[in-house]
Amino acid sequence: MENSYKKLIKGYLEFKQNSALKKDFYAHLHLGQNPQVFIISCCDSRVVPNIIMKAEPGEIFITRNIAALVPPYDEKHTSCHATSAAVEYAIKHLKVKHIVIMGHTKCGGIEALVKSGHITKHKTDFIDKWTDIAKPALEATLHNCTDKNFEEKCTYCEKESLKTSLNNLFTFPFVKKAVDDGKLKLHAMLF
């Protein structure tokens, strides 16, 4: 464990030294950001959007959470969702042109949801409540996959959770308006 931390520090120092050699490349990043794409991704350590998409620094705005879920818009603002704040910032301030929800196979959050088989079981303080966002995906999976094995159910639920998150994006008034005005396109992908 200690060696992995030391490796990260060494990598940081090497990056810092090498980036000094590329001052022209990094100079424009000091002026601000202007990404055209916002990616909502799972925080799984194997899913790294900027590497997968071969994006340079400044090209994509990213937020990550368990299972790449988007909560529905909270009209009363009673919860503090980092994902909702990132959506608002991406649309209202960065004026991105595309939102990509990037799910992935073998997602631990979705596997836990499918394994539980129902929503009401809360054994964790935050994770179970968060994955409740995917309740429509789980319901569709339980309804349509009765004859499927666990892995097939998970794959189906992973795809359905992307649909749920896309539908939830439309509950944000400023997202819906940007889409309706032709200024924003929504996408989903399964990595």
Whether residues 17 and 59 fall in one domain: no
Q: Is 50 in the same domain as 131?
A: yes
H/E run at residue 99: strand 98-103
pLDDT average, residue stretch 123-144: 89
138 and 67 assigned to the same domain: yes
Stretch (H or E) spanning 188: strand 185-190
pTM above 0.85, yes or no: yes
Please check whether residues 152 and 97 belong to one and the same domain: yes
Tokens found for residue 185? 């396109």
Report pLDDT for 174: 97
| Averaged pLDDT, 108-122 | 77
Residues 23 and 52 in one domain: no
Residue 45 and residue 24 share a domain: no
Residues 89 and 3 in one domain: no
14 vs 156, residue with greater confidence: 156
Strand partners, 186: 99
- Residue 22 confidence (pLDDT) above 80: no
Percent of the chain residues topping a pLDDT of 70:
94
The pLDDT value recorded for residue 151 is 95
- How large is the average pLDDT for residues 123-134? 85
Among 186, 153, 165, 169, CA closest to 66: 165
Mean pLDDT over the full length of the chain: 90
Total domains present in the chain? 2
Q: Which is nearest to 41 in space by CA: 72, 67, 73, 60? A: 67
| Amino acid sitting at position 1 | M
Q: What is the pLDDT of residue 85?
A: 95
Residue 121 reports pLDDT greater than 80 = no
CATH number at residue 51: 3.40.1050.10
Residues 13, 99 within the same domain = no
5 Cβ contact partners less than 8 Å away, ≥ 6 residues apart: none
Give the residue numbers spanning the domain of 2. 1-31
